[in-house]
Amino acid sequence: MSNLKEKVTIVTGASSGIGAATARRLAEKGARVVLAGRNEGRLAKIVEEITTSGGIASHHVADATDFESTKTLVAFARRTYGPVDILVNNAGLMLFSYWKDVAIDDWNKMIDTNLRGYLHAIAAVLPSMLERRSGRILNMSSIAGVHVGEAAGVYGATKFFIRGITESLRKEVGVGNGIQISMVSPGVIDTGWAEKVQDETGRKIAGELNKQGIPPLSVADAVIYALDQPPEITINDIVVHPTRQDW
Residues annotated as part of the active site = 155
What span, in angstroms and rounded, lies between the C-alpha atoms of 190 and 179? Answer: 31
